[in-house]
Structure 1
Amino acid sequence: MNPNIEITKSSGEKVKFSLEKLRASLKRSGADADLINQILDKVRDELYQGISTKEIYNRAFALLKKKKSYFASKYKLKKAIYELGPTGFPFENFIAAIFTYSGYKTDVGKILQGTCVSHEIDVVANKNGETTIVECKFHSEEGRNCNVKVPLYIAARFKDVKQHWDSKPHKTQLVAGYVVTNTRFTQDALHYGNCVGLKLLSWDHPKEDGLKDKIDRLGLYPITVSTLLTNREKQFLLSRDVVLCRDLIGDAFYLDHLGVSETRKERILNEIKQLCNS
């Protein structure tokens, strides 16, 4: 393989191909070393100058799916989160679920009064007498990062809500503001967020505790990771607030509403159970 092969990211940026990055993403799928090496060999043989990350992803995904569908499900996690769109509301429910499974009591779309105006907050999370407000910035297209305008805007809202909150008696203390995105923050956004004390959560930030790490650790995969459900079926489930794979295990009757055959229903639920238990 030519060590100087450049690949084209979804943003249009060209970067050097990294075998180790691909190995790491395949490893997260749960595939063993032998299967990972087989896929790396095949992908490496098919590389050419300027190949898109999408083409590399599609090839690796197809090879994983051929072996075990739930490996492919875990591998497509990032893409699956983009598929929660376009409204962003399922993403808010998804983020609320991450906080719920981390021990918080959550409300989605709650109105909180500020000193100047009232604000609709995406997720309000309470734990141990402390309240955290969470704003979600969802992108349905790859290659779009969160710039500094986002934490600037959220910091102003948090300040307005906190000033009013602190001026009135409350059962809990308002301690933190969060900005959560399914993409990445620019360096300016990270610097500003850290400077004003906002907590920032993106696909890979904070390191080893980003969105992808939390999802894997908690086993909270969105329903859109399924390789066996059609797009129409996924949208039907999302419209019924079935956002997590583990929700479908408890609400399998929705598959009957969709007219899914018993054989296919068994395969879908088996894939999802393997995924949640992996």
Structure 2
Amino acid sequence: MTTNIDIIKSSGEKVKFSLKKLSASLRKSGADEQTINEIIEKVKEELYNGISTKEIYNRAFALLKKKGGYLASKYKLKKAIYELGPTGYPFERFISAILKYSGYDTQVGEIMQGECVRHEIDVVAEKNGETTLIECKFHTEQGRNCNVKIPLYIASRFKDVKAHWDSKQHETKLEAGWVVTNTRFTKDAIQYGNCIGLYLLSWDYPKDNGLRNRIDRLGLYPITVSTLLTNREKQFLLSRDVVLCRDLIDDLFFLDHLGISETRKSKIQNEIAMLCKH
């Protein structure tokens, strides 16, 4: 029965409902098999032709949240990254923070001279004598993928900056340009990026080393995954450049500043501690 249910993706595409995909997404949150099976049975009861992936997600999320703990927070990771908006700046800070924990020195919003014009680069990262230029493409809406125009545009900017860089003396080599998005790349975008030598990073690309994998592996969750902080509190923290849950583990200044009660503060700290374990 459930294998014949048509569901509507955020892009508007109609696909068949997959128990396997739902199970896999719940498993990635850290849920045990009993919890996964219970949620799947309840979701199956509410399926109908034309149901959206958003409705399925909301139902599974609500059931996970009832279980308590940090599982619901991990499950909402993809949505939480969208919540870093509406501007792309917190996303740039988030990418910068992930790279710092991978051993890079990073700067956000650097102005760099090209051979023809000056460019504002979202993130400049340095490691092992090499400098990397990273452009971030943030979408606030699900279903909006990065087409080939994005790497085409960024490749031309990188070429301009590299031409000027190579004409001067520098302590590091400028070898790599990255394009990072919170959504997905089209096939043409991936084909062009690979052909021209750009490194592409999206939610699920490269395989097994996309954004989700890196975040889970390093325990570097954005504060927007929290199910205990309010939207107002999250926006306050983001406006103070507090992007990672990890930033709140040893620094309670901002939680104190928000006037959060000791009981709530303790629950928030526990949620964050569980998320950051890896």
Shorter-chain TM-score: what band? over 0.9
Give secondary structure in 1 for the equivalent of 2:25.
helix
Cα RMSD of the aligned pairs, angstroms, is: 0.8
1:231-250 alignment, distance < 5 Å:
231-250=231-250
Q: Answer yes or no: is 1:83 the counterpart of 2:44.
A: no
Give secondary structure in 1 for the equivalent of 2:70.
helix
Whole-angstrom distance in 2 between the partners of 1:252 and 1:182: 29
How much identity, in percent, do the aligned residues show?
76
Contact 2:2 2:17 in 1 (8 A): no
Q: Answer yes or no: is 1:142 the counterpart of 2:113.
A: no
Whole-angstrom distance in 2 between the partners of 1:2 and 1:142: 24
Give secondary structure in 2 for the equivalent of 1:170.
coil
Give secondary structure in 1 for the equivalent of 2:4.
coil
1:229 maps to which residue?
A: 229
Whole-angstrom distance in 1 between the partners of 2:183 and 2:69: 25
Whole-angstrom distance in 2 between the partners of 1:9 and 1:87: 24
Paired letter, 2:151: P
Q: Answer yes or no: is 1:54 the counterpart of 2:48.
A: no
1:149-188 alignment, distance < 5 Å:
149-188=149-188
Paired letter, 1:210: G
Whole-angstrom distance in 2 between the partners of 1:266 and 1:253: 14
Give per-residue Cα distances to partners, 1:186-218, cap 9 Å, x unaligned: 111111111100000000000000000000001
Whole-angstrom distance in 1 between the partners of 2:121 and 2:180: 12
Whole-angstrom distance in 2 between the partners of 1:2 and 1:18: 8
Q: Answer yes or no: is 1:34 the counterpart of 2:34.
A: yes
Give secondary structure in 1 for the equivalent of 2:120.
strand
1:11 maps to which residue?
A: 11
Gaps of 5+ in 1: none
Whole-angstrom distance in 2 between the partners of 1:35 and 1:123: 40
Whole-angstrom distance in 2 between the partners of 1:178 and 1:271: 33
Q: Displaced runs of 4+ in structure 1, greater than 3 A? A: none
Contact 2:130 2:174 in 1 (8 A): yes
Whole-angstrom distance in 2 between the partners of 1:251 and 1:142: 33
Q: CA deviation at 1:136?
A: 0.2
Whole-angstrom distance in 2 between the partners of 1:88 and 1:17: 32
Whole-angstrom distance in 1 between the partners of 2:38 and 2:8: 23
Q: CA deviation at 1:252?
A: 1.5
1:208 maps to which residue?
A: 208
Contact 2:3 2:18 in 1 (8 A): no
Contact 1:109 1:122 in 2 (8 A): yes
Give per-residue Cα distances to partners, 1:156-193, cap 9 Å, x unaligned: 00000111111111000001000000000011111111
Q: CA deviation at 1:11?
A: 1.5
Give secondary structure in 2 for the equivalent of 1:64.
helix
Whole-angstrom distance in 1 between the partners of 2:249 and 2:171: 36
Paired letter, 1:173: K
Give secondary structure in 2 for the equivalent of 1:7.
strand
Q: CA deviation at 1:110?
A: 0.6
Paired letter, 1:6: D
Whole-angstrom distance in 2 between the partners of 1:226 and 1:3: 33
Give per-residue Cα distances to partners, 1:55-106, cap 9 Å, x unaligned: 1001110111111331000000000000000111000000001111111110
Q: CA deviation at 1:255?
A: 1.3
Whole-angstrom distance in 2 between the partners of 1:144 and 1:252: 37
Whole-angstrom distance in 1 between the partners of 2:83 and 2:59: 19
Paired letter, 2:194: N
Give secondary structure in 2 for the equivalent of 1:3.
helix
Give secondary structure in 2 for the equivalent of 1:234.
helix
Q: CA deviation at 1:133?
A: 0.5
Paired letter, 2:266: E
Whole-angstrom distance in 1 between the partners of 2:81 and 2:276: 16
Give per-residue Cα distances to partners, 1:207-230, cap 9 Å, x unaligned: 000000000001000000000000
Normalising by structure 2, what TM-score? 0.98
Whole-angstrom distance in 2 between the partners of 1:277 and 1:167: 45
Q: CA deviation at 1:256?
A: 1.6
Give per-residue Cα distances to partners, 1:20-46, cap 9 Å, x unaligned: 111111011001111111111111111
Contact 1:69 1:227 in 2 (8 A): no
